[in-house]
Structure 1
Amino acid sequence: MSMVKESIDVDVPLHTAYNQWTQFEEFPKFMEGVEEVRQLTDRRTHWRTSIAGAEREFDAEIVDQLPDERVSWRTVDGEVRQMGTVTFQSIDADHTRISLAMDFQPEGMAEKAGDMLGVLDRRVKGDLKRFKGFIEERGRETGGWRGRISPA
């Protein structure tokens, strides 16, 4: 497994950043290569991606979610193996630090080579920058889910 860790500070309050992150179906608006995310249940999402010509579909399960603090997930079905956690930390009333840590299993020669060259690190950094632009430009979240999902 390969590990990616990135952080970014956004100019919105903690609850705004967290609420927007829970709107998984909005991810294609700021995540490169993510074609579609469907929320199947409170715990489960279905993803369709197209990255460097490789199309993949997989399901992910939210394994831990605590409002205004963290969302943790793992893939459970499909061609992609990953798990991760995104955390939210208030800097002050109007600024939030978002930190993402993700373990990813590269498959095939192209993904392994890309991993060695830091492609995933750059993609995650770019996705966080696009999230920052998305939420700061709007100034408010498109929705929010404040439920608690506890680890099994």
Structure 2
Amino acid sequence: MSTLEEHVDVGVPVDKAWDSLHRMENFPRFLEGVRDARTEAGGRARLDIEAGGRAREVEAEVSDRAKERVMEWQTRGVPDLAGSFSLQPIDQNHTRVQARLEYDPGTVRDAFGGPRGFAQATAIERLVRSDLEHFKEYVEHGR
């Protein structure tokens, strides 16, 4: 498994960032390739994803540690992905959003195509960084 950690500082209070992160239906506004996202009973989520020219539905289990401001998720089935978002207040009006992604490069390649090896890791890193920047825009400006 490979692990990637990235963060972005956003200009909103931690409560606003936390509430925005939990609006699963808005994930397509800031997560590249997510066409639709919805919550289901029992802490499950479904995401319709298009990546590498391939469309796929991904089911994930989502759990919250609300007091710690941590949301963890794990896909069910292929691709095998796990991760978390954790939020830390910087001050009254700023929050650090930390994203952690655990993935098997071969499984991601099989599921979505794309480059191999180092090029794949670099592409995934760019995508996560870009998604965090899009979240920043979304939470600060509603775009």
Please give the TM-score of this superposition, normalised by the length of structure 2: 0.87
Partners of 1:67 and 1:18 in 2: CA distance = 11
Taking structure 1 as reference, are residues 66 and 50 closer, same or farther at Cα in structure 2, changes over 3 Å only? same
Partners of 2:42 and 2:18 in 1: CA distance = 16
Question: Deviation string for 1:62-85 (max 9, x for gaps)?
Answer: 1343246100110124x2211111
User: Given that residues 49 and 57 in structure 1 are in contact (C-alpha distance below 8 angstroms), is that contact kept between their aligned partners in structure 2?
Assistant: yes
Partners of 1:13 and 1:122 in 2: CA distance = 26
- Runs of 4+ displaced beyond 4 Å: none
Q: Which residue of 2 aligns with 1:143?
A: none
Map 1:80-91 → 2, pairs under 5 A? 80-91=79-90
User: Given that residues 52 and 114 in structure 2 are in contact (C-alpha distance below 8 angstroms), is that contact kept between their aligned partners in structure 1?
Assistant: no
Q: Which residue of 2 aligns with 1:16?
A: 16
Higher helix share: 2
Larger RCO, structures 1/2 (Cα 8 Å, 6+ apart): 1
Partners of 1:31 and 1:138 in 2: CA distance = 14
Q: Give the aligned CA root-mean-square deviation in angstroms.
A: 1.9
Partners of 1:47 and 1:59 in 2: CA distance = 6
Letter aligned with residue 118 of structure 2: M
User: Given that residues 18 and 67 in structure 1 are in contact (C-alpha distance below 8 angstroms), is that contact kept between their aligned partners in structure 2?
Assistant: no
> How many angstroms does 1:111 deviate by?
4.5
User: Given that residues 24 and 39 in structure 2 are in contact (C-alpha distance below 8 angstroms), is that contact kept between their aligned partners in structure 1?
Assistant: yes
> How many angstroms does 1:93 deviate by?
0.3
Partners of 1:65 and 1:119 in 2: CA distance = 30
Count of equivalent residues: 137
User: Given that residues 24 and 38 in structure 1 are in contact (C-alpha distance below 8 angstroms), is that contact kept between their aligned partners in structure 2?
Assistant: yes
User: 5+ unaligned residues in a row in structure 1: which ranges?
Assistant: 140-152
Q: % of aligned pairs identical? A: 29
After superposing the two structures, state which structure 1 stretch, 35-44 or 122-131, moved more: 35-44
User: 5+ unaligned residues in a row in structure 2: which ranges?
Assistant: none
Q: Which residue of 1 aligns with 2:134?
A: 130
Q: Which residue of 1 aligns with 2:4?
A: 4
> How many angstroms does 1:112 deviate by?
6.0
Question: Deviation string for 1:66-112 (max 9, x for gaps)?
Answer: 246100110124x2211111100000000000001110123246446
User: Given that residues 84 and 101 in structure 1 are in contact (C-alpha distance below 8 angstroms), is that contact kept between their aligned partners in structure 2?
Assistant: yes
